[in-house]
């Protein structure tokens, strides 16, 4: 592999304009595709085949008008509460919203609350009317009974008088007709009374079902309006979302403040903000300090940006045909920038050092590509394997996310191995400052400088951090493990969920809407659970409604349920929909239990009422996603670790090194989880990281972090350990090779780690709050893994093991192909010579 990459590097050097032109063509093609075919992104995470998705599909079929996405707007009045002007302003705004083509309907909080408030009075009035009607019916019955008695007495008198039957019937016929009419009227009145009683009973049950549900707060200072869209909330265009906000904010003229919910305000159309730019700027500063010139520092940045443009641009081009979450391009962007800078940096740094040592430019680029480029390729492969394996859990949104990120990393690897050598050939000697060239020339002209260089390398290898660790390996090992163990302790309390409005920044409109709703109406209103009921066939309208209320009563009996309101019934009366309001918010542990309890209650409801129920909606869906992801973690971890162990076994031809790399990763992972729990779940250092409302951790953070951190951890393992193996393969003592390899790799790995941490840290303050904990987890994980695990624990254990670190059974050594990651073949006499046809063909 090293020989192939050597030839590839020389080809790119010699055919630089061809390589550059090809990449420009790719950029133009991807950019044009992204502009022409891009669609909208969402943060809707669904799992095909789950109850949530099945019920959503059923709801869309049976009640299409109620299947669209919904959002809310919270209105806040001044200290005196809503006056008539404020109510009118809200009503006018909602009327404007209802006219929008994308809006199905709106719920005016004031008219709805008035109807709820008047329900008790109407029921009392209905009961009084029913009592009066009953008294009137009773009087009519008594009157008819008396008439019948009078008719019978008259008939007896006429018979006793000896009148013929015809004459008797003629005299009694009018009175019989009058009594028949009275009975008919009585029957009609009785039926009307029965219908009224049934309606009154339904009204009572409806009022009972609505208890605990309010649309205007009890102090008259807050109101909440519901907006039903014709499509899913994620399909609502950004322009419509903004128009909704503009309309509702118009109520400010009446002294009312409007706060739109997260569903409306969340903008996933932009993936790069100020915080991300700051992270890249820090990375640029590190490059300048390390490489010494703006040209040298700018090269890895430009390579990374080109890789990101191709990878993320391709991702955007697919959004028109694939339902993609906003975190997919964000993760691709994060990783593309981080690994793109690092991978090019490794090649540029090696080339720079070889030039300063007096090597020819073409030979140096080819050799750097064959050695450092080989490490880059295998490091990239571990990242790609870990990310591509995200398809294994069977979650579509996670599979798309993993493939998009893996593809972007693959592009970064190809850019580093082809475009970087081509651009290096254009830059030539300008890569290095004149001062550095002059210093190198003086040094290279000194007699015996090679021996002096070896002596200097020897001194460096025994000093600094690597020397300290190898002088006291047990101390370094024990302290590092204890430190990571302490940081990992909070991980045992990890709780997973998807974020809600409470996760947004405190000064955001979404957080203010969440805060006002929670304080005025209860936290559960921010995350209602939708229950879909399948009713028995052939029910009358009243029977169907009574079935609805029977089910609602059982739903309300579940612990921590505040209200269960029937709000829709299909035309054929086969499908009923309920809104269940839990006591706490959608991300709380109690609401997760409510979802579970409601599903368990389904069997009893079906037995008692004949109605089959299922749960849907965002709250139930989020619980499904979290549980499915939790179940997918162990097999995913096993597969990723297994595949990467095989790859590392091929690379290092050692049993110990892959096991050491994996064990170190598990320590880093546990520490990263612990830090995430402490900051985002417990709220430690919340002021620094803008965590105002700590709660459950992003549900798919663990599985993504496993994939990303494992891949990146193997990056640093490859770069550091390949240097050790290179020294060992060139004849050095095993323990001495640890020091030499570490000293050669330490500076560039340190810079690479700082760059990666800087890029990831920029996403800690992203405008997309879902990305923030992910950015923190990756930044902290890389920080711990690079400096504590790879640069402390690994050299300490490798030094303690000595020759045993490179042990491999002979039979396995014969079976494994030699991938030559350290480029040992390139230092032998059989290396391809400059000018040979083999280099370019």
One domain, residues 80 and 227 = yes
The phi-psi region of residue 41 (left if phi > 0; otherwise alpha if psi is between -120 and 50; otherwise beta) is beta
Q: Over the stretch 180-221, which tens digit does the pLDDT of each residue have?
A: 888 888 888 888 878 777 777 777 777 777 777 889 999 999
Please name which of 376, 371, 443 lies closest in space to residue 414, comparing C-alpha atoms: 376
Q: 409-432 burial string, b = 16+ CB within 10 Å, else e? A: bbbbbbbbbbbbbbbbbebeeebb
Mean pLDDT, rounded, of the chain: 84
Please name which of 709, 792, 722, 703 lies closest in space to residue 757, comparing C-alpha atoms: 709
129 has a pLDDT exceeding 90: no
Q: In a 3-state reduction of DSSP, which class is residue 506?
A: coil
Please state which of the ranges 247-251, 534-538, 642-646 shows the lowest mean pLDDT: 642-646
- Classify residue 789 by its DSSP letter: I
Q: How many CB atoms lie within 10 A of CB 650?
A: 17
Average pLDDT over residues 612-633: 84
| pLDDT value of position 147 | 80
One domain, residues 30 and 94 = no
Task: Say if CB 369 and CB 347 are below 8 A apart.
Answer: yes
Between CA 469 and CA 40 the distance in angstroms is: 51
Reported confidence tier of residue 461, pLDDT bands at 50, 70, 90? low
Reported confidence tier of residue 833, pLDDT bands at 50, 70, 90? very low
Q: Which residue has the tokens 């080109």?
A: 306
701 has a pLDDT exceeding 60: yes
Task: Say if CB 722 and CB 794 are below 8 A apart.
Answer: no
Residue 448 lies in a domain: no
Average pLDDT over residues 598-626: 89
Q: How many CB atoms lie within 10 A of CB 780?
A: 25
Q: Which two tokens stand for residue 791?
A: 């640069």
Q: Print the domain residue range for 311.
A: 1-37+292-435
Reported confidence tier of residue 46, pLDDT bands at 50, 70, 90? low
CATH of the domain at 573: 3.30.70.1320
Please name which of 568, 654, 420 lies closest in space to residue 63, comparing C-alpha atoms: 568
| pLDDT value of position 838 | 32
Residue 452 lies in a domain: no
| pLDDT value of position 25 | 95
One domain, residues 713 and 788 = yes
What's the total number of domains in the chain?
4
For 555, half-sphere exposure in the C-beta direction (CA atoms, 13 angstrom radius) is 33
Q: 366-400 burial string, b = 16+ CB within 10 Å, else e? A: bbbbbbbbbbbbbbbbbbbbbbbbbbbbebbbbbb
One domain, residues 83 and 133 = no
One domain, residues 803 and 660 = yes
Domain final position from 162, 185, 208: 185
Residue 633 lies in a domain: no
Q: How many CB atoms lie within 10 A of CB 149?
A: 10
Q: Over the stretch 273-288, which tens digit does the pLDDT of each residue have?
A: 676 677 778 888 888 8
Domain final position from 593, 618, 643: 618
Between CA 79 and CA 733 the distance in angstroms is: 80
Residue 758 lies in a domain: yes
| pLDDT value of position 825 | 65
Contacts of 445 (CB under 8 A, 6+ apart): none
One domain, residues 238 and 309 = no
Please state which of the ranges 30-44, 427-441, 534-548, 623-637 shows the lowest mean pLDDT: 30-44
575-582/70-76 β-pairing: unpaired
One domain, residues 710 and 744 = yes
| pLDDT value of position 320 | 73
Residue 624 lies in a domain: no
One domain, residues 473 and 516 = no
One domain, residues 68 and 97 = yes
Residue 271 lies in a domain: no
Between CA 73 and CA 87 the distance in angstroms is: 14
- Classify residue 231 by its DSSP letter: S
One domain, residues 421 and 534 = no
- Return the bridge partners of 568, or none: 577
392 has a pLDDT exceeding 60: yes
Please name which of 68, 681, 738 lies closest in space to residue 466, comparing C-alpha atoms: 738
Q: Over the stretch 214-244, which tens digit does the pLDDT of each residue have?
A: 899 999 999 999 998 888 777 788 888 899 9
Q: Over the stretch 519-560, which tens digit does the pLDDT of each residue have?
A: 999 888 888 899 999 999 888 888 888 888 899 999 999 999
Domain final position from 618, 634, 662: 618
Residue 499 lies in a domain: no
Residue 836 lies in a domain: no
One domain, residues 723 and 782 = yes
One domain, residues 668 and 793 = yes
CATH of the domain at 661: 1.20.1640.10
């Amino acid at each position: 592999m090293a020989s192939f990459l050597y030839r590839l590097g020389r080809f790119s050097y010699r055919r630089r304009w061809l390589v550059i032109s090809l990449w420009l063509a790719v950029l133009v093609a991807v950019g044009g595709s992204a502009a022409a075919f891009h669609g909208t992104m969402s943060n809707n995470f669904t799992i095909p085949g789950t109850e949530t998705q099945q019920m959503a599909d059923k709801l869309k079929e049976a009640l299409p008008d109620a299947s669209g996405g919904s959002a809310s707007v919270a209105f806040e009045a001044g200290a005196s509460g809503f006056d008539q002007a404020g109510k009118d302003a809200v009503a006018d705004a909602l009327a404007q919203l209802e006219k929008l083509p994308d809006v199905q309907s709106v719920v005016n909080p004031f008219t709805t609350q008035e109807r709820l408030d008047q329900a008790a009075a109407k029921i009392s009035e209905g009961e009084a009317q029913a009592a009066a009607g009953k008294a009137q019916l009773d009087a009519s019955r008594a009157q008819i009974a008396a008439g019948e008695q009078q008719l019978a007495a008259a008939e007896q008198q006429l018979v006793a008088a000896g009148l013929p039957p015809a004459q008797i019937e003629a005299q009694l016929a009018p009175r019989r007709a009058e009594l028949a009419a009275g009975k008919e009227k009585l029957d009609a009145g009785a039926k009307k009374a029965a219908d009224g009683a049934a309606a009154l009973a339904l009204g009572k049950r409806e009022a009972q079902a609505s208890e605990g549900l309010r649309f205007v707060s009890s102090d008259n200072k807050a109101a909440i309006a519901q907006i039903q869209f014709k499509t899913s909330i994620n399909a609502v265009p950004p322009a419509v979302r903004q128009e909704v906000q503009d309309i509702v904010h118009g109520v400010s003229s009446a002294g009312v403040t409007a706060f739109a919910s997260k569903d409306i305000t969340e903008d996933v159309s932009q993936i790069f903000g100020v915080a991300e730019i700051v992270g890249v700027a820090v990375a640029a500063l590190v490059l300048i300090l390390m490489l010494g010139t703006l040209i040298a520092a700018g090269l890895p940045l430009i390579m990374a940006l080109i890789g990101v443009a191709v990878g993320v641009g391709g991702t955007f081009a697919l959004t028109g045909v694939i339902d993609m979450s906003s975190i997919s391009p964000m993760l691709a962007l994060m990783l593309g920038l981080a690994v793109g800078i690092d991978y090019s940096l490794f090649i540029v740094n090696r080339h720079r050092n070889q030039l300063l040592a007096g090597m020819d430019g073409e030979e140096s680029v080819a050799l750097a590509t064959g050695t450092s480029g080989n490490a880059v390729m295998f490091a990239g492969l571990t990242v790609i394997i870990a990310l591509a394996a995200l398809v294994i859990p069977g979650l579509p949104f996670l599979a798309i996310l993993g493939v998009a990120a893996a593809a972007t990393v693959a592009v970064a690897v190809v850019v580093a191995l082809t475009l970087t050598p081509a651009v290096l050939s254009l830059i030539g000697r300008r890569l290095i400052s004149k001062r550095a060239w002059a210093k190198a020339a003086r040094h290279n002209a000194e007699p015996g400088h090679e021996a002096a260089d070896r002596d200097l390398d020897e001194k460096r290898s025994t000093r600094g951090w690597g020397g300290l660790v190898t002088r006291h390996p047990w101390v370094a090992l024990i302290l590092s493990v204890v430190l990571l163990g302490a940081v990992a302790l909070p991980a045992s309390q990890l709780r997973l969920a998807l974020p809600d409005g409470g996760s947004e920044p405190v000064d955001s409109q979404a957080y203010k809407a969440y805060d006002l709703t929670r304080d005025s109406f209860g936290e559960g209103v921010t995350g209602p659970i939708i229950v879909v009921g399948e009713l028995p066939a052939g029910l009358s309208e009243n029977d169907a409604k009574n079935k609805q209320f029977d089910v609602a009563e059982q739903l309300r009996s579940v612990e921590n349920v505040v209200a269960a309101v029937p709000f829709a019934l299909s035309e054929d009366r086969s499908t009923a929909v309920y809104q269940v309001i839990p006591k706490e918010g959608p991300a709380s542990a109690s609401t997760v239990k409510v979802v579970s309890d409601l599903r368990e209650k389904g069997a009893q409801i079906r037995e008692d009422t004949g109605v089959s129920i299922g749960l849907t909606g965002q709250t139930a869906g989020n619980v499904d996603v979290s549980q499915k992801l939790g179940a997918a973690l162990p097999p995913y971890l096993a597969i990723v670790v297994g595949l990467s162990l095989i790859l590392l076994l091929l690379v290092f031809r050692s049993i110990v090194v892959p096991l050491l790399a994996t064990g170190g990763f598990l320590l880093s992972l546990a520490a990263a989880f612990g830090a995430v729990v402490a900051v985002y779940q417990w709220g430690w250092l919340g002021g620094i990281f803008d965590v105002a409302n700590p709660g459950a951790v992003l549900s798919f953070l663990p599985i993504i972090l496993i994939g990303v951190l494992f891949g990146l951890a193997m990056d640093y393992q490859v770069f550091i350990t390949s240097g050790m193996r290179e020294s060992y393969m060139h004849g050095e003592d095993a323990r001495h090779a640890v020091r030499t390899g570490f000293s050669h790799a330490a500076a560039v790995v340190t810079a690479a780690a700082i760059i990666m941490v800087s890029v990831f840290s920029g996403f800690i303050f992203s405008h997309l709050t879902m990305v923030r904990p992910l950015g923190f987890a990756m930044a902290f994980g890389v920080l711990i893994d690079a400096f504590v695990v790879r640069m402390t624990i690994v050299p300490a254990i490798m030094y303690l093991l000595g020759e045993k670190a490179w042990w491999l059974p002979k039979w396995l050594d014969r079976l494994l192909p030699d991938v030559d990651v350290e480029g040992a073949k390139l230092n032998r006499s059989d290396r391809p010579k400059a000018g040979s046809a083999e280099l370019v063909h």
